[in-house]
Structure 1
Amino acid sequence: MVIFIYSRKSKWTGRGESIENQIAMCREYIQCHIEGADQAEIVEYEDEGYSGRNTNRPQFQSMMQSVKKGRCDYLVCYKLDRLGRNIADLANLIEMLNQWDVAFISIKEQFDTSTPIGKAMIYFAGVLAQMEREQIAERVRDNMIMLARKGRWLGGNTPLGFRAESEENVSINGKRKKSFCLVTDEEEIKIVRFIFQEYLQKQSLVGIVKYFLSHGILTKRGKEYKTNTIKDILTNPVYCTADREAYEYFWNLGCQVCMDAEEADGRYGLISYAKTTSAQYKNKENAPEKWIISLGKHQGIVSGKEFAKVQKLLERNRAGGDSWHKPQNQAALLPGLIYCSCGHRMRPKNYASNQLTEQGERKFSYLCTWKDMTNGKKCSVSNVQGNTLDALVCEEVLRCTEENSDFGRMLETAWEQIRESKEEKVSAADLLEQEIQKRKKEVGNLISVLARTGGDEEFIRRIEGEVRKLNAECTALEQEKQESEKACRVMRGGKEQLEFLKDRISSFRALYHTLSVPEKREYLRIILDRVLWDGERAHIFICGSRSTGRECRAAETDDESPPLPSEETGE
């Protein structure tokens, strides 16, 4: 008999319903209420720091995979909401457990899924758990609105042009805590004013980026400005003055405006809350209906009228805003793949319309975007003749299928490594898992003995010492097992990648003369990791390994004959 114990806690606190306490109570219940538990194998699954809002939890998913394989007779947890707070997820889980003949026990509510009333009670408890989750979210939002009305800065990355300063001590639930507000940084705020002025005049994000790059102006964290960085500044309500126009703009946008119209008198700026979501740990912008707009305690930078105008300009230009990332040259094969040795992308640049190749294609070159934006002040790497480089790169890729090519030899070496190590790694992981389960079973037996017999302090100390020793051995074996499994996954992934790569390259070679330019471009994006141009030589990277390189002239005027190729040893 195999019994699974599942425990979860959203945040570690070291008290109350901790992971350890949940497991201990589950083990005690198992020994007292499940017949034959003394001989059962007990497997523990722990998800520390994961919310019950969904089932995207690593140990939960691992447990369910084992359940599907028929490796479980009982699933025990402390409370139903440890499995989840979403009624749909809980309903699906109970149905799956019934399908696989797994008995489910919640020791706190004492549910029994083998009876109709037990199933009904679980669904009812699931409804309550989901209601509790929604009430928690509502309380958090209400608390955020309350804080928003006070104009407090709640933390996070301080916007450019401001710094957070302690304002006063406030009392929250009887505890004294610091309150922060935004204060203008006179040096940084000049950059913000420049960004708004330039965009209102020229309506070009790229133009602002070019200016900053050419003048060596970096972000407050020492990084290069990008168009997304500029856009984030232009759309941040913190720079908008709280005047009548701003109030109407955000009100019409559907935001929750936490101030009266009379308060929007232009004396202060705005603060926004819940503009982005942290779901799945990714900051994605929420819909305007979820934004909370409040009166801050800092000075605004632009008027509400100007801020609204900037937003309209950004919206109007959005359709073509990212077009410079897309291939504009219909003949170029390497946009998005070719990089300058300075680390920045290169883009195709057309010659005059009357300059054509022998095949009738318009000539072009690849130039470094960093060099272009800084007018050659930050990068001096020569441009490369694009038609010639594309042909040489394709030639190198086609040569990969030849028996004596560098890539062919690399494939053979990789295949040998996979064949030699695959079986050894798999068997090692299996043996380690057996040893881990043995020790876990011993720990469970010791705990059950202690729970039944009690004993004096010396006896308890001996048992605790033995449990700590076995747990330490389990931890060491688990780490070794994970390393072994990781090596196996790398090998399996490497095998699949090599098979896929061989197939793509073979198809590319067989279909090369019938493929259109866009189709060739897609094949190259699958086969190549990147192409690096250093001003004299192009280095081709295939799946993270450097292949052979070809020397290619950088001159843009002498293009009558292709440069002679030269071999370079791959790494």
Structure 2
Amino acid sequence: MRAALYTRVSTAMQVEDGFSLDAQLDRLRAYCASQGWTIAGVYTDEGQSAKTLERTALKQMIYDMTLRKIDVVLVYKLDRLTRSVVNLYELLQTFDRYTVAFRSATEVFDTTSATGRLFITVVAAMAQWERETIAERSREGQIQMTREGRWSGGNRPFGYHYREGQLTINDPEAAVVREIFQRYCSGQGIATILHWLNHPQRLQLAPNGHWRQWGLKYLLRNPLYAGYVRYGYRIKSVANQRYQGKPLIVRGQHAAIVEEATFSQAQALIKQKATTPRRDGTGKFPLTGVLYCGLCGARMTGFTWTRAKGGVNLRRYYVCVEAQHTRLCPMPLLRQEVVEGEVLAELAFQFEKFAALTSNRPLLDHGVQKKQQITALETQLRDVRKRSKRWMDAFESGHINSSELRQRLDGLKMREQEITLQWQTLQTEPSPTERNELKSILSSFHNTWESANIEEKKQLIHSVIDRIELRPGPKTGRIYSAQVTLTFKT
């Protein structure tokens, strides 16, 4: 029989005895030798969880099944393959579809019989039940610790040491925490406090080397600094983390860093600012909402500078939010007229480009060319995967060691990601018909822009552009030029 050897280690288990990749492979090779099987391939997922089937080597193994290269899948233990009952059923159905058996080298599992399939399902169900039971007991333990006034764990809170199960004050960090609350309660906003915390000439102590907006807001809302502990502040959801309505909050055993009255004043200010109506958002900057920093990826917003000297002098700029709030991005202030002028110039260039494409090339030619490019990329992807398979074979034959294998596979994985990105770009490229529609809009864009008000300009930009990436260009005197990259809506 042709056996596929599947091995996996999670990040936390890579150094545990008996679970290393080499130890698993040695056991699997010995098992194949005892059964008289030939090794069809070695499939290794390193540092990946068994809770999902989205694993590179596992998907490659299933692909090879479709090519009828495998007769049996051999693993060290069942939990190397999966820990989920649902995923196990899905895998067994796939194995059955391609007449592939499943064996474990250390457990009595045989999927060739109904009894064997029942047994393996029951064992997997028990494994999932055990994992869920452990998680439930862990939650219960954290709730009980909170009720007793003890911190229930997680990342060490800024301002405290955690030693022998107790939180004790870290004096240098606690001084920063007190200053943050004092500044906020005196009327300073989040942006102003971030400027102080991240100022390059007087950097303050920070949780991860520097302060960000989310971390500062979390600190100001955390009752731990007033001497309380809480559980259930955030809950997991399918899409992201959301705040839980009523977390458990109990007086803690640790010392407070700020007085309770100061913390209460900060919470009242937070609530007051959250209910203050905001401006309608149209402002004087039509590119906001689609304009992003090309240096750090953050959004860009508008900034108006006023100078009263012989009359009011207004200058408007686009500024990176990350640079504005944390000073961690080197993006300079870019003049509004420079940025918007460059966007209009790029739109004019795109209009000429689309006009040439739609008038000088038959629609069929473009479609054929695009299909040929996609086919070529798919051929390159298959070639990269074949090369990965050859390196796995070389490792299985003993020609290279595991470190050399990982080095080779890492390089091929990067190449595969590059090709995949190119393939996805071609798939979403506008068709010639869509180009014609865009051409019609762009042909009248400049005239419409000149006669439109700010709100109409914003609507016009949003109707055709999905994203604008902005980078600073060469500097003339004190003024930077701008470089833009446009992504059109499809």
Q: TM-score, normalised by structure 1?
A: 0.60
The letter of the residue matching 1:183 is I
- Paired position in structure 1 for 2:215: 229
Match of 2:258 in 1: 301
Distance 1:76 1:371 in 2: 50
Q: d(CA) in 2 for partners of 1:286 and 1:75?
A: 44
Which residue, out of 399, 404, 410, partners 2:349?
A: 399
Q: Is the 1:164–1:181 Cα contact (8 Å) retained in structure 2?
A: yes
Give the aligned partner of residue 28 of structure 1. Answer: 30
Paired positions, count: 440
**Equivalent residue for 1:332?**
286
Q: Confirm whether residue 384 of structure 1 aligns to residue 335 of structure 2.
A: yes
Residues of 1 paired with 2:382 and 2:82: CA distance?
35
Q: Say yes or no: does 1:181 pair with 2:136.
A: no
Aligned to 1:72: 70
Matched residue SS, 2:34: helix
The correspondence of residues 446-485 of structure 1 with structure 2, limited to 5 A, is: 467=398, 470-472=399-401, 476=404, 479-480=407-408, 483-484=411-412
Q: What is the letter of the counterpart of residue 391 of structure 2?
A: I
Alignment deviations for residues 158-203 of structure 1 (CA, whole Å, 9 cap, x no partner): 41xx24275xxxxxxxxxxx55532241x54344334334545648
What residue in structure 1 maps to residue 121 of structure 2?
123
1:529 aligns with 2:457: no
Cα offset, 1:364, TM superposition: 8.2
2:361 aligns with none
Change (3 A) 1:13 1:233: same
Question: Residues 486, 276 of structure 1: CA spacing in aligned structure 2 closer, same or farther, 3 A cutoff?
Answer: same
**Counterpart in the other structure of 1:520:** 461
**1:538 and 2:481 aligned:** yes
**Secondary structure of 1:164's match?**
strand
- Asked if residue 347 in structure 1 is aligned to residue 347 in structure 2, the reply is no
**Alignment check: 8 A CA contact 1:432 1:478 kept:** no
Match of 1:490 in 2: 418
- 1:345–1:218 CA distance, 2 compared to 1 (3 A): farther
Matches of 2:382 and 2:94 in 1, distance apart?
Answer: 31
The residue identity in structure 2 corresponding to 1:231 is K
TM-fit CA distance, 1:234: 0.9
Residues 80, 205 of structure 1: alpha-carbon distance in 2 compared, 3 angstrom cutoff:
same
Per-residue CA shift, 1:133-160, capped at 9, x if unaligned?
A: 112223444555676648469573441x
Tell me how far apart the structure 1 counterparts of residues 26 and 331 of structure 2 sit (CA, whole Å): 66
- Superposed CA RMSD in Å reads 5.0
Structure 1: gaps (5+ residues)? 167-177, 241-268, 353-362, 406-414, 444-466, 545-571
- Report the CA distance shift for 1:133/1:103 in structure 2 as closer, same or farther (over 3 A): same
AA at the equivalent of 2:394:
R
SS of 2:425's equivalent in the other structure is: helix
Deviations 1:325-346 (CA, angstroms, capped at 9, x unpaired): x953376125552659999975
When Rg is computed on C-alpha atoms for both structures, the one with the higher figure is 1
Q: Is the 8 A contact 2:317 2:334 kept in 1?
A: yes
Distance (whole Å) between structure 2 residues aligned to residue 295 and residue 196 of structure 1: 20
Report Cα offsets for 1:241-262 as digits up to 9, x if no partner: xxxxxxxxxxxxxxxxxxxxxx
Structure 2 residues without counterparts, runs of 5 or longer: 307-313, 356-369, 449-455
Q: Distance in 2 between matches of 1:434 and 1:49?
A: 19
Give per-residue Cα distances to partners, 1:481-532, cap 9 Å, x unaligned. 6535644642453465378567688754432237963352364443x42243
- Give the CA deviation at 1:74: 1.1
1:48 to 1:434, Cα distance in 2 relative to 1, 3 A = closer
The reply on whether 1:156 has 2:155 as its aligned counterpart is: yes
Alignment match, 1:511: 441
Q: Which residue of 1 aligns with 2:228?
A: 270
Deviation at 1:239, TM superposition (A): 0.6
Structure 1 residues 496, 348: CA separation in 2 closer, same or farther (over 3 Å shift)? same
* Matched letter for residue 121 of structure 1: F
Of 83-92 and 331-340, deviating more is 331-340
- Residue 193 (structure 1) aligns with: 178
Question: What are the superposed Cα offsets for residues 30-58 of structure 1, whole Å, 9 maximum, x if unpaired?
Answer: 3334xx61xx3332233344443343444
Counterpart Cα distance in 2 of 1:309 and 1:69: 67
> 1:112 is paired with a residue of what secondary structure?
coil
Change (3 A) 1:292 1:123: farther
The answer (yes or no) to whether the contact 1:153–1:164 under 8 Å persists in 2 is no
Structure 2 equivalent of residue 8 of structure 1: 8
- Rounded to whole Å, the distance in 2 between the matches of 1:97 and 1:197 is 64
Q: Matches of 1:341 and 1:311 in 2, distance apart?
A: 35
Of 238, 253, 256 in structure 1, the residue corresponding to residue 224 of structure 2 is 238
Q: Alignment partner of 1:231: what SS? A: helix
Q: Structure 1 residues 430, 132: closer, same or farther in 2, change over 3 A?
A: closer
Residue aligning to 1:175: none
The structure whose RCO (Cα within 8 Å, separation 6+) is larger is: 2
